[in-house]
Amino acid sequence: MFGEPILGITLVSLDDLADVIYDYLFEGYEMWVRRRDRQPLTHMEIDYVLREEAQNMAEDGYPLKWRMLKDALVLYQDQSVPPFGKVAYLFYKKYASQNELRESFFPSQMKRFEASGKGKVKPRPAKKK
């Protein structure tokens, strides 16, 4: 937990917390999010977390990947794809604001991604071992 605990309550600046989360995700760590009561997250809660973190991470151009594990949302930065590529564009198109999308991608990139495959990504073949 970050911040200074006072009477069992942790005080933290949301900007500081966003910076710390950004640093850890950029360094390859995962972020686990769960409800305090350990009930499963709702679709609205998952969508909210993804939108907030997409806005936080957009400047790097890597998309976030996520999975559910033991009623927790697990987020990590997908550095296996090119930054500011089509996969990243589709992620940020879905989860970031239009302003954030325009700040992160050139108009020519967005037009090219939209024109190729109508915004769909073809699945990549699995890596051979």
| Digit-coded pLDDT (tens) for 25-38 | 889 899 888 888 88
For residue 92, pLDDT beyond 60? yes
The pTM (predicted TM-score) of the whole model is 0.73
For residue 83, pLDDT beyond 50? yes
Question: How large is the average pLDDT for residues 65-82?
Answer: 91
Question: Cα–Cα distances in Å, from 22 out to 25, 31, 41, 45, 52?
Answer: 5, 10, 22, 19, 11
**pLDDT value at residue 94:** 92
**For the chain, first and last CA: distance in Å?**
39
State the DSSP string of 21-63: HHHHHHTT--EEE--TT-PPPPHHHHHHHHHHHHHHHGGG-PP
**pLDDT value at residue 127:** 54
**pLDDT value at residue 34:** 85
- What lies within 8 Å, CB to CB, of 48 at 6+ separation is none
For residue 125, pLDDT beyond 60? no
For residue 3, pLDDT beyond 50? no
Task: Locate the domains of the chain by residue range.
Answer: 11-119
Task: Give residue for tokens 């909210």.
Answer: 48
For residue 84, pLDDT beyond 60? yes
